[in-house]
Amino acid sequence: MRSKKTKFIFVTGGVVSSLGKGLASASIGALLENRGLDITLLKLDPYINIDPGTMSPFQHGEVFVTDDGGETDMDLGHYERFTNARMSRLNNFTSGRIYHAVIQKERRGEYLGKTVQVIPHITDEIKSCIRQAAQGMDAVIVEVGGTVGDIESLPFLEAIRQMRYDVGAGNAVYMHLTLLPYIGAAGEVKTKPTQHSVMKLREIGIQPDFLICRTDREISREMKDKIAMFCNVDPGNVFTSPDVKSIYELPLELHRQGIDERLAETLNIWTRAARLDRWEDIIRKVYSPGRGEVKVGIVGKYVDLKESYKSLNEALLHGGIANDVKVDLQFVDSQDVEEKGAEALLSGVDAILVPGGFGVRGTEGKIAAVRYAREKRVPFFGICLGLQMAVVEFSRNILELADSNSLEFNEHTPHPVVTLMESQVKVQDKGGTMRLGSYACALKPGSLAHKLYGEDVIQERHRHRYEVNNAYRGRLQEAGLVVSGHNPELNLVEMIELPDHPYFVGCQFHPEFKSKPFAPHPLFSGFIRAALTQRDAGRTQA
């Protein structure tokens, strides 16, 4: 077996945030993997939080969960969706986590009395994390969060500057993502922000080898040559990341420009020719679905910020790909449902989904949405909190247990049908203490869940504290609620369904974290198939 000389691709961003470094990194990973390389990706985040687990979705967007229970940046979701790389807690490090590790070593006396400093101790810790993630890989793509010029990202930038000297100039490249804004009044695309961003990067010792310029329009060869000259970059290494209708078009667009070929040449690494047939097939299904469109109502509390449900949105799109249909996502604020009623806001959708979330705000609207879906026989999918709200709704309206609720929202409820696990009762720290990561789920033979998965036992990722109360489990089942999945080790409810309903499924885990465009998750494929059936039935009745 040949020993691998790992190649490093360091991705930084400038001018403004949210340019798409994560998608660019994921696309490059997809292209290199497509050419036969073993790759992984790593995200370095400059904020002081140990991880994003305690951060509001309004602040940070989605928290992505790995099999080993890591609460990570949402970009790791892009990495997994675009590639076959499996992410873990070793693929996301924050400043807080790095400093915490260094301080722990200092307290243990591992620095032998030396003064602990940013250089070399913090930067050495960062480099150690990069090397650990890169073991056994042909290439590792390291994305540095934030924007060049931010004070908090300087230790990460210094660490990746040093890495080139550590691994050799031929084994590391720097790729910088910048903005090319179009100024309407002048009728021109301006290159000066890119020039200044690169100048800032060079001030700290990093000369980019590649530039990816984010733009909403085509730019000329002459403009690329101008950018190359002022930024001291090979003209053949200046690429654009144009606005695309689907994120899954980006690998094809970057390949069309030849970025994977240039990377292979620059890093002097042998690869096979690219084979992008399946990416082209995905784009065909996204842009030209053969079965029209279905409308899915998503009833949640973070609907004003779509990044909060990034993996969920993509998993629904994957369900559409599996059924050759476009999925129109209609976000409905659960507080609006409380005020206006479910009928007024959901009567036009073909299916209803209640996603995960935390906090009491809007929960009654979610319960009303569940009841509407159950009584009107609209396909329903409840995820995490969505399952819990379905259990509360069933308890109130079928078991007639008035004021049933989750202890999370009402500590004095007479019927806590959703309760806190015993192991969670005394937990005080909020970060990293939920039921996190991959757990087994045994499926009930003959259930819809069993048919969808086609397996007896599955593994899915969790992120929650509260569970269905086993004290009520028997009564729920006697009244017709099917527990179609349970965790055999902890004897906890993992899935529920209603057998006399077109599609009424709830799961305690987050299946969206394991869905890919090439391998849509079976629960989402089944959900969209049910929505399609609902739509066609409605047309027939009309």
Active site residues: 384, 510, 512
Which residue type sits at 186? A
The DSSP result for 251-287, as a single string, is: HHHHHHHTHHHHHHHHHT---PPP--HHHHHHHHHHH
Instruction: Report angle CA 459, 428, 487 to the nearest 5 degrees.
Output: 20
Burial, 193: exposed, middle or buried (Cβ in 10 Å; 0-12, 13-18, 19+)? Answer: middle
Contact criterion met (CB below 8 Å) for 92 and 43: yes
Report which DSSP code applies to 74.
T
Report which DSSP code applies to 245.
S
- Residue 384 exposure: Cα atoms within 13 Å on the Cβ side: 22
Token pair of 375 as six digits: 């009584």
CA nearest 369: which of 384, 382, 356? 382
CA nearest 8: which of 129, 190, 170, 155? 170
Q: How many angstroms separate the CA atoms of 128 and 153, rounded?
A: 17
The number of beta carbons lying within 10 Å of the beta carbon of residue 117 is 11
Q: How many angstroms separate the CA atoms of 257 and 236, rounded?
A: 10
CA nearest 350: which of 400, 303, 398, 292? 292
